[in-house]
Amino acid sequence: MENRILCLDYMKALAIFFVVLGHLIDGVDSETNPFRIFIYSLHMPLFFIVSGFLSSKKITSVGNLGKWYLRKMRLLIPFFVFSVGDVLILGSSWDAFLGWNKYGLWFLWTLFLFDTIYAITQLVLIINKNKKLELIGLIAPALVCIVLRRYDDTLLGGIFNFMQLYNYSFFILGVIVVRYGLQKYILDERIQFLMLLMYIVGLTTGIAALNIPMKACGILLVYAFFETILASRNSSLLQFGGGKINNLILSFGQHTLYIYILHFYLIRGNLSLPVSAHVILFSAPFYYLAIYSVFSIVIMWICVQVAEFLNTNKYIRMYVFGSRK
């Protein structure tokens, strides 16, 4: 159980690192840049599969389902607090509520929608009690979400973020992997080879039909990587830097909500490299990636320090970030 929790923290830390790194290079980097393509193939799907892992426990009563859903509703607190703050303090337009991006906070809104879809699915399965239909009941909404992406340019598509609903596939993948005990297959080297092949083909060809399978294979490989590391407590990766690096990574993984919300304000505050530096870095890809990676880690560290300070006030913790602890 402890290994599983640590694995999820590592996955969240990597995901939030990719989110910050991706946002740093957005706007000045080409969408065809291989670094950007790689980052965007993993960062948000990683968050959604972790959310699925954490929601995988079967709920057998309407009462427990209601309690679970009420806990998930706390996601709406930081979403609305910071969205309204964006409008009132930073002067953003109210119209952004109707678009998919939602002041950059679309993930919180979308994850709440996924929790809602999943809750409805679980309610149907609790009432139906037909175990043979369980897997179909889990997968069917994911297929509907993929189809709805075609209508992302409509008013409802903007409000309910049809553009990003395809990510429900990764959420439900996390549920299925844990609920049906598929971890052992993911850790099989032969399966990993096939997943790596699919990921490379999908990433390099850009074939639309391979987009979801490619991303699914990528995030499962990340999961397998961290599970393999944790299987050996003496791994040099865990002990590097006397354990301080490991603790820093875990800290990032445990503060992803705060980093996700707060890093936008640091980037908006021009805490980024000047445009002239990009011209130099584009001609030296290794330095380009290294400098931006360090910059991302600094931003994440600042966000964690701010988060720990804010967390000392229980009212800010509960009524701004929606967190009880």
The type of residue at 135 is L
The contacts of residue 121 (CB under 8 Å, 6+ apart) are: 137, 138, 141
SS3 at position 232? coil
Would you state the pLDDT for residue 288?
75
The contacts of residue 126 (CB under 8 Å, 6+ apart) are: 59, 60, 61, 62, 65
Report in angstroms the alpha-carbon separations of 155 from 76, 94, 103, 172: 21, 14, 17, 26
CA distance 64 to 61: 5
Report in angstroms the alpha-carbon separations of 294 from 6, 41, 288: 23, 21, 10
Q: Which of 92-106, 166-180, 286-300 has the highest mean pLDDT?
A: 166-180
The answer, as to whether pTM is greater than 0.85, is: yes
- At 223-271, the pLDDT tens digits run 999 998 888 765 666 666 557 888 899 999 999 999 999 998 888 755 5
10, 249 in Cβ contact below 8 A?
yes
- At 193-222, the pLDDT tens digits run 999 999 999 999 999 999 999 999 999 999
